[in-house]
Amino acid sequence: MTTLLVILGIAAAVLLYGIALYNNLVNQRNRVKNGFAQIDVQLTRRHDLIPNLVEAVKGYMAHERETLQEVIQARNAAVSGLQNAAADPADAEAIKQLGAAEGALNGALGRLFALAEAYPDLKANQNMMQFQEELSTTENKVAFARQAFNDAVMNYNNARENFPGSIIANNFNFQAAEFLEIEAPQKREVPKVSF
């Protein structure tokens, strides 16, 4: 009788521990989703600012239609990528595609701002300066939200890969989450130094 109680006690302890591991994985996955929700808000704000920015510069840069069109196409691809990733923030492929789309948008915006430097009237335009400030502020917010998301992804992936959580994760189909990497073209450029 005592042996049976000991066995039942051990079985109950193992079961409770397994439930605790499962619940921890669910909590970590929900933190990933919450972290992505913050990114979603900031990227949506950024995407909403871009058509207004393009409208503000259209009059000044009429012969730069190709660049303006490139910005709009990159923005539309980023919006699509955001919608796909928002459907399931734990989908690694959707997060990779979003990162690539946002990187392309960063590149297109960088080219637009570089061209804007050649137009003194545009540089001095109050709307242009306001949009640049809004985009810069939003970029900072995106960076903070992305860091929080990536921290949540790291914690979730650690929980699902560490033993014995990996046993629960594999048996209950907890897939690995992907870090959101948004490549900025300037990040890879070699700084130019001249004397």
**In the 3-class helix/strand/coil scheme, how is 1-41 assigned residue by residue?**
CHHHHHHHHHHHHHHHHHHHHHHHHHHHHHHHHHHHHHHHH
pLDDT of residue 189: 54
**Alpha carbons 157 and 88: distance in angstroms, whole number:** 16
pLDDT of residue 191: 47
Name the architecture of domain 18-184.
Answer: Up-down Bundle (1.20)
* Domain range annotation of the chain: 18-184
Of 71, 160, 151, the closest CA to residue 115 belongs to 71
Amino acid at 174: F
pLDDT of residue 129: 83
pTM for this one?
Answer: 0.82
Answer yes or no: are the C-beta atoms of 182 and 99 closer than 8 Å: yes
> Would you write out the chain's pLDDT as a tens digit for each of its 195 residues?
789 999 999 999 999 999 999 999 999 999 999 999 999 999 999 999 999 888 888 877 767 788 889 999 999 999 999 999 999 898 889 999 999 999 999 999 988 888 888 877 777 778 788 888 898 899 999 999 999 999 999 999 999 999 999 999 999 999 999 999 887 655 545 445 444
Answer yes or no: are the C-beta atoms of 182 and 146 closer than 8 Å: yes
pLDDT of residue 192: 53
